[in-house]
């Protein structure tokens, strides 16, 4: 990989988005090169990686739970928001004036 020599003033004037894009292209390019050695593409690798993953054992914490163990109980039912039944279709009337 060859780098172009640029004056520091030119490099410093580049917006952060240009640097982010450059890093992305270099990292993804290196990954693609290494996967090509194995005859894989990124989607192939993602599929194989997910298929090879072992699901967590019952009662253990999944990786996205922040360490909280999985529960087997149902979530609590929220309280009703109102005791009045909704109006029938086509019977709308404006609300009463505020006191």
Residue 44 placed within a domain: yes
Within a domain: 80 = no
> Is residue 94 in some structural domain?
no
Which of 38, 57, 56 has the alpha carbon at shortest distance from 48? 38
Domain assignment present for 61: no
Tell me if 95 is assigned to some domain.
no
In which band, very low, low, confident or very high, does the pLDDT at 7 lie, cut at 50, 70 and 90?
Answer: confident
Q: State which residues form the domain around 19.
A: 9-51
Angle between helices 16-37 and 42-52 in degrees, nearest 10? 70
Give residue-wise pLDDT tens across range 41-98: 888 888 887 777 766 666 666 556 666 655 555 666 666 665 566 666 666 667 778 7
Instruction: Locate 32 and state its tokens.
Output: 């693609």
**Per-residue confidence (pLDDT) for residue 12, from 0 to 100:** 81
pLDDT at residue number 62: 57
Q: Is residue 89 part of a domain?
A: no
- If one counts the domains in the chain, the total is 1
């Amino acid at each position: 990989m060859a780098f172009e020599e640029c004056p520091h003033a030119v490099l410093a004037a580049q917006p952060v988005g240009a640097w982010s894009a450059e890093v992305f292209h270099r990292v993804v390019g290196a990954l693609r090169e290494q996967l090509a050695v194995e005859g894989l593409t990124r989607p192939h690798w993602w599929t194989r990686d997910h298929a090879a993953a072992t699901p967590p054992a019952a009662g253990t914490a999944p990786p996205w739970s922040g360490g909280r163990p999985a529960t087997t109980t149902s979530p609590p039912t929220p309280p009703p928001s109102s005791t009045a039944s909704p109006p029938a279709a086509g019977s709308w009337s404006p609300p009463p004036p505020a006191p």
